[in-house]
Structure formats: structure tokens, C-alpha cells
Amino acid sequence: MLTRLCRWLEAGLLAPCCLHCHEPVPGTLPICADCAAGLRPAPVLPEVLAPCAGARLAAFRYEGTAAALITAYKFGENLAAGRVLARLALPALREADRPGALVPVPLHRQRLRQRGHDQALGLARDWGRALGLPVRAGLLRRRRATLPQTTLDARGRAGNVAGAFEACGPCPAHVTLVDDVLTTGSTVAAAAEALFAAGARRVDAWVLAWAAPPGGGAQPAAMK
Ligand SMILES: [Zn+2]
């Protein structure tokens, strides 16, 4: 009932509502102070050794508000949820080294058809616009469809995406991969390998959230 009322108010341009708890909020950012306070920063992720050298930065832990909003963005086509998280992640990204370009981790065309939008491309565009960085959306391509990583353990994830990406042109020396969630890091490692093969010398990764790898572990797992 409250959700419906809020949507009605929003439609009437009277007040935005929090995308998580649906309470009306002041201002233009559709997230309330309580829900925003529930976004806990992710731990510092260790740098990865060659051949996939680079810094990896996750803005939030994949839990609570962050997990709910990412799920709504990724699977519910709630683009506003992605935009809010992308904006709240900006202070962390401004601290990071600036690459020559942002490269979204691409979806396979089959998955894109099912989902209706490309969540990594949306993040890369928001971050590129806010930070004044070019976005090279067509630089990487998925050669083949892969299973959803969430259905696999760490070893299965690495095998699932190994060799799944290829670069479609020369790559700038320093690029940053963009994705929504990083768990074991297998996907960005496979994408980075394709970029190194295309001439990159450093490949970083920026994601909205870090999720604890399957089987637990308080510290983030190494990428490989
Ligand atoms: Zn809220």
C-alpha cells in the first residue's frame, strides 16, 4: 500500500521515494539516509599478480541495501537503482588512479536479450560521464555464452569464463574494467587477459560491490 502510494506521489512529481524502503525522501536522490547508511564499504581488495596485474576497487559490500538495489538493477530493470549506487560509489572512485578508458565487462548477446539492458555498460557510462573518462563499450566481446557465475564454486567460475572474451581492437595502455559485482574475480581476470593480449599494460577493475566468495572467508579471494 505504502509502495503504491509512493509511486503515485512520485508520478505526481511531489516527492521521490527511497528505492529500498519506499519512504518519501527529501532532495532528488531516491535513497533515504537510513538505507544509504546501510551501504558498508567493501574491504580493500588485494592487487593481483601478473599476468592480470592491476588494482581492484569495490565500493560496497554485497549485502543488505547494496544487494537489494543491485538485484533490482540487474534483474528487475530498475535503472534508477543502478544510477543511485553508481553515484554513491563516486567518492571511492575519485580516489583511484585514472585510466585511459573504462571498459565494461560485456554481456553475451543472448543474456542481453533476456535481461533487456547491460548493467556494466550503464555503470561505465555513469562513471565515465561523472569522472570525464572515455568509455570503450565495443572493445571487449564475449565469444560464447557462459553459465551464471553465481551457480558455480571458485574453480567452476574460473573454468566457466576462461577464454570467454576477446578484444575487438587495440587497447590503451591503462584501462579499467567495470562490472556490477566481483566475487572470486574470475570474470575480470578473464576479461583482463583479453585486454593484455590487445596491448594493455595495466588493467584495473571497478565494481559496485564485493561479494564474499562461496564457502565464506572474511577476506577477498585473489583473482586467480
Ligand atoms: Zn530507505
Residue pLDDT, tens place only, 19-44 = 999 999 988 899 999 999 999 999 88
CA of 3 to the centre of ligand 1 (A): 12
Task: Select the more confidently predicted residue: 219 or 8.
Answer: 8
* Segments forming the whole domain that contains residue 7: 1-37
Q: Where are the beta strands (DSSP E) in the chain?
A: 56-61, 101-104, 140-142, 165-167, 174-182, 202-210
Please tell me the distance between residue 64's alpha carbon and the centre of ligand 1 in angstroms: 11
Residues 64 and 112 occupy one common structural domain: yes
The number of domains in the chain is 2
C-alpha span between 87 and 84 (Å, rounded): 5
Residue 218 lies inside a defined structural domain of this protein: no
219 domain residue, yes or no: no
My answer on whether 107 and 18 are in the same domain is no
> What integer pLDDT is reported at residue 158 of this predicted model?
79
- Whether 216 is in a domain gets the answer no
Angstrom distance (rounded) from CA 72 to CA 89: 17
Ligand 1: centre distance to CA 31 (Å): 5
Residue 218 has pLDDT above 50, yes or no: no
Neighbours of ion ligand 1 (CB under 5 A): 18, 20-21, 32, 35
